[in-house]
Amino acid sequence: MTDGRRTDSTAAGDGASPPAPAPLSTRAREAVLQRIVDRRYAQGARLVEREVAEELGMSRVPVREALRALVTEGLLELLPHSGVRVRRLERADVEHLYEVWEPLTVQASRLAARARAAGDTEGLAALEAALHQAESAAAADEATREVAAHTAFHESMVAMSGNPLLARTMEQLSWQLRLVFGLREEPAHMRAQHAEMYRHIAAGDAEAAAASTLLHVRDSRAVALRSLFGEH
């Protein structure tokens, strides 16, 4: 039980220790992933450990660990006697991703609407902010920023769902989704679909939110296949 007085530790810094910095290998992994997503490292591009280390301003050891991790995750592939390259997405990769993502994100939208009906305002504000960021990026013709805003919209919807198991499961898909979002075209109607999803969530209408999200995901799949593989 506390009497409300500050202890020595809280007096020195409110009792909160600064978060430990991420390991260098983790930072290297995230940096390489971001370069794949924004296409600085194109599909099929060969990555040389020494060159990547120089670009990131790191030693080769954490970069080597990061590249190995990304090979394990399937985003890079080993080349015989010559390092790694960015793995080219196959049609099956996209199909498998959407097969898993569709039911999860539809349920996330349904739960987000229920959270709104129960009084959630913080989650709704995050969704609205992501919509504004996407519109701003599109107006400035900044594709990378627009992709980040679309990703933020979906991540905010998952956070608003309040389901930690769903959030952890979706986290495993995060970089694959960012990669696909970054490679496909972003037509204006995709932003309009996000706005419709937002309206249903804001109204607390769980089934309308789920229905509009299902339409959006299936349209997103069609856009991805058309953008990546020329399918109509």
Using 50, 70 and 90 to split pLDDT, how confident is the model at 16? Answer: low
pLDDT tens per residue across span 59-81: 999 999 999 999 998 889 999 87
pLDDT tens per residue across span 112-169: 999 999 999 999 999 999 999 999 999 998 888 888 899 999 999 999 999 999 999 9
* H-run or E-run covering 46: strand 46-47
The reported pLDDT for the residue numbered 10 is 44
Supply 115's token pair.
């959270």
Question: What are the C-alpha distances in Å from 118 to residues 106, 122, 124, 200?
Answer: 19, 12, 12, 14
pTM tops 0.85, yes or no: no
pLDDT tens per residue across span 163-191: 999 999 999 898 888 888 877 766 788 89
